[in-house]
Structure 1
Amino acid sequence: MRRRLLTSTLVVAVIAVLLLGVPLGVVVSRLIVDEAAQELGAEAKRLVGEVEYARVQETPLDPQQLEQKYPGRYIQIWERGTPLRVTVVGTAPASGHLMTEDAQTNTGVYVRISRDRDQVERDVRARLLLIVALAVAALAVAVSLAVVQSRRLTLPLRDLAKIAERLGSGDARPSKHRYGIPELDRVAQVLDRSAARISDLLTREREFATDASHQLRTPLTGLTMRLEEIVASAGEPEVVREEGEAAIVQAERLTAVIDELLAAARRQRHAQAEPVAIDEVLIQQVREWAPVFKDAHRELRLEGARGLKALATTGGFGQVVASLLENSLRHGGGTVTVTSTSGENYVVVEVSDEGPGIADEIAPKIFERNVSGGGGTGLGLTLARALAAADGGRLELVRRRPATFAVFLRPAEDDGRGNRVVSGPA
């Protein structure tokens, strides 16, 4: 492209110089010749007048004086009389290439003045050389401007090509380069917007992979525990059957978690929210986590109102509660209490423990990714809040010490709320 720009600009400049320079050279050469002829004619008229005046005054002509007055001229003067007087001033050019002008009077004075035509032609050639030099300078300026313009156009195009290649290789950083050319700036803006979209898509994919690995860990842990119970109770058929059924439930829950993660990745979970029995989800989670808390010599309690219903998804709400229970198990202490209550606008499920609580420096950003106060992954609470928000609810830290998290869900229209409050160990 750069070579084409240079070639096209040079061709246009050459055509322009030829169209303007050739006529200008012809006109200048004619003007110089005409000007020399007019000057020589004026000298002839002036000289014939001087000769006529000298003749009237009966003053003889002085050839040396005329030669000084008309340098570089070859002059011939004829005066009518008896005899005919002829006066010659100067010497004829050796080349014999003359430019001549004549003048005469009615009294018989005839003057012929000549000059060397080669001198006039040298003057013409000098002017033509000046015109050629100006034309060459104009071509040089045109080529310089073409080089600058080609660089101004080709360098941004190369830069845009590098940006596009970088986008294709997975580096989706916006360049924010602008070049002062509206068309190229629009292309750069489009590439920057594409880079932002690609970066967002890549970030979502990476977050989905991270979230999936984190969320699948909990049901896999529960499934492993159930299988270990089956192995340990191989001699008791009833226990084996019960633990096998629990393992099947864990496997189904694992499938549900995968479906929830895929739905969250496609941003479709909010439309799937439906009335969910809070008791069923809480009892299921308490049963699954009770053996783990028992092995840790800690107690897990379920309290609050029963018979509540809220708009949510079973898998999403279950994952939120599981994440809170796992967080209390790893970072909390003492008895963990799960409390369900209802208000005018929300159904609230609180999970609290008796541990040291959350440090003040991380409490404001406890729900941010990769923030953890106990060496964890820093993803559990982030994902739990995202799942709650996808169901149209929210997850909040309502008390720092001891740590208490609350899940706020929208009540179902036909929730059949009960007012019986139960309390006791799970």
Structure 2
Amino acid sequence: MRRRLIQSTLAVVLVVIAVFGVSLVIVETRTISESARERVRSEAVRLASIVDSRLIVDEQVTAEILSGQITGDRYAVIKIPGRPAIEVGDKPEGDVISATAPGEEGETVTVQEPRSSVTQEVARTLLIIGLVALLAVIAAVLLAVRQANRLASPLTDLAETAERLGSGDPRPRHRRYGVPELDRVADVLDSSAERIARMLTAERRLAADASHQLRTPLTALSMRLEEITLTDDLATVKEEATIALTQVERLTDVVERLLTNSRDPRTGSAVTFELDEVIQQQLAEWRPAYRSAGRAIVSSGKRNLRAVGTPGAVAQVLAALIENSLMHGGGTVALRTRVTGNQVVVEVTDEGPGVPEELGARIFERAISGRNSTGIGLAVARDLAEADGGRLEMLQAKPPVFGLFLSRTPPQKSDDADRQTVR
């Protein structure tokens, strides 16, 4: 591209120089020739007036007297009636420029100048024009190279940016080049890079959330299946199988919720549900794990509470808090329910050392963990709680107390939503 830009610019400049240079040479040649003829003609008229003035006062007219009036390599012939011709200067050889001027006393004055002087002046003029044309060509080449670099380098840079996007590197470069069209392309590429980065981040986040949210029900399901394999009691088998089916349903709900949130995280499925059912379900699921660890999990507080939210999401939040207490806490884990204003609060606490001071409020940030864990459990739990209008907070660090706040009032549907439903 650089070569084409330089060649096209240089071709335009050469055409312009050729057109205007030839015209200028022709005009200058004619001008110099006419100027030389005019000089010779003026010289003849001047000599004629000198001869007239001397003849009027009866002074002598000789070659010696007039020799001082001839300049350069000019040659003059003065013809006076009744007298021999007077020659002044050396007669030129070859082609000459000649002019004749008559005098008032009947004399004629002829002045000649060799045409070589005109040729020399034309040659000097052509040399100057040639030098100017050469300087113009050099300036045009430098300008073409600069302009080609200004256009080609950004295009190369934009091509590298597009290649980086295609290879999976979505970092925007935020480079601008001072050319509106190229800057527009750079804006579009940067916007595309930001969108791709957001999409990749969302995909990685979905994969991390899915692996974390699916791990808990799969672990509980595997424990139930192990219980079934270790017993011969048909009643126990039926009980564990029923619980396992519940785990499968919960697993299906988690998958559907993950897919729904990946399409539109604002899509809510909050309903009014019995909070005791979700809590008892979690107690039943986690008691085997706590028994294996030599610990207990209990519930207390107000009963028969109804809350607004997604039962599967609330179960996921409580499971994350219970699992967090199992991994990082100690002693008995208690789930306490209470009512504050228009909200139901489920508190999860244990008798462990609590949250380290260096973590503090950062406990809900992703990749923040007090031990060797994924560090996304509490972050996912908070996202799930906020998706249906609730919130998850750390009420106390030592001993740890986490509170899940859920509304008791069903959400009001807007008129727009009602109209969309009718449609």
- 1:364-384 CA-to-partner distances (Å, cap 9, x unmatched) read 200001101122211100110
Matches within 5 A, 1:134-283: 134-233=132-231, 235-268=232-265, 270-283=267-280
Corresponding position of 1:115: 113
Query: How far, CA to CA, are the matches of 2:162 and 2:371 in structure 1?
Result: 43
CA contact (8 A) 2:75 2:91 kept: yes
| Percent of aligned pairs with the same amino acid | 45
Corresponding position of 2:362: 365
Corresponding position of 1:15: 15
Post-superposition offset of 1:268: 4.7
Corresponding position of 1:89: 88
Query: How far, CA to CA, are the matches of 1:244 and 1:277 in structure 2?
Result: 23
Corresponding position of 2:76: 75
Query: How far, CA to CA, are the matches of 2:267 and 2:38 in structure 1?
Result: 100
CA contact (8 A) 1:67 1:73 kept: no
- 1:16-69 CA-to-partner distances (Å, cap 9, x unmatched) read 323432222222112111111111111111111222233334443443453444
- 1:146-178 CA-to-partner distances (Å, cap 9, x unmatched) read 221121111111111111111111100000001
Corresponding position of 1:418: none
Which secondary structure state, in structure 1, belongs to the residue aligned with residue 304 of structure 2? coil
Query: How far, CA to CA, are the matches of 1:29 and 1:204 in structure 2?
Result: 78
Which secondary structure state, in structure 1, belongs to the residue aligned with residue 268 of structure 2? helix
Corresponding position of 2:43: 43
Query: How far, CA to CA, are the matches of 2:77 and 2:220 in structure 1?
Result: 132
Matches within 5 A, 1:319-330: 319-330=316-327
Query: How far, CA to CA, are the matches of 1:180 and 1:106 in structure 2?
Result: 76
Q: 1:140 is matched by which residue type in structure 2?
A: I
- 1:322-371 CA-to-partner distances (Å, cap 9, x unmatched) read 00000011111111110112222211111011111111110120000110
Query: How far, CA to CA, are the matches of 2:150 and 2:360 in structure 1?
Result: 53
Query: How far, CA to CA, are the matches of 1:192 and 1:269 in structure 2?
Result: 26
Provide structure 2 residue ranges, at least 5 long, that are not aligned to the other structure: 412-423
Query: How far, CA to CA, are the matches of 2:342 and 2:189 in structure 1?
Result: 46
Which secondary structure state, in structure 2, belongs to the residue aligned with residue 85 of structure 1? coil
2:287 equivalent among 283, 286, 290 = 290
Matches within 5 A, 1:390-401: 390-401=387-398
Corresponding position of 1:6: 6
1:131 equivalent among 129, 132, 136 = 129
CA contact (8 A) 1:309 1:412 kept: no
Distance 1:97 1:406, change over 3 A: same
Query: How far, CA to CA, are the matches of 1:331 and 1:14 in structure 2?
Result: 82
Q: 1:351 is matched by which residue type in structure 2?
A: V
Structure number with the bigger relative contact order (C-alpha 8 A, sep ≥ 6) is 1
Distance 1:286 1:269, change over 3 A: farther
- With 131-140 and 280-289 compared, the bigger mean Cα shift is at 131-140
Q: 2:306 is matched by which residue type in structure 1?
A: K
Which secondary structure state, in structure 1, belongs to the residue aligned with residue 85 of structure 2? strand
Paired positions, count: 410
CA contact (8 A) 1:13 1:139 kept: yes
Q: Under a length normalisation based on structure 1, what TM-score does the superposition of the two structures give?
A: 0.92
Which secondary structure state, in structure 2, belongs to the residue aligned with residue 366 of structure 1? helix
Post-superposition offset of 1:3: 3.4
1:346 aligns with 2:347: no
CA contact (8 A) 1:173 1:196 kept: yes
- With 347-356 and 336-345 compared, the bigger mean Cα shift is at 336-345
Query: How far, CA to CA, are the matches of 2:266 and 2:234 in structure 1?
Result: 40
Post-superposition offset of 1:269: 6.2
CA contact (8 A) 2:260 2:267 kept: no
CA contact (8 A) 2:52 2:104 kept: no
Q: Over aligned residues, Cα RMSD in angstroms?
A: 1.8
Corresponding position of 1:422: none
Which secondary structure state, in structure 2, belongs to the residue aligned with residue 321 of structure 1? helix
Post-superposition offset of 1:91: 1.9
Query: How far, CA to CA, are the matches of 2:54 and 2:340 in structure 1?
Result: 136
Q: 2:6 is matched by which residue type in structure 1?
A: L
Post-superposition offset of 1:199: 0.1
Which secondary structure state, in structure 2, belongs to the residue aligned with residue 240 of structure 1? helix
Query: How far, CA to CA, are the matches of 1:52 and 1:39 in structure 2?
Result: 20
Query: How far, CA to CA, are the matches of 1:331 and 1:307 in structure 2?
Result: 30
Distance 1:42 1:299, change over 3 A: same
Post-superposition offset of 1:395: 0.5
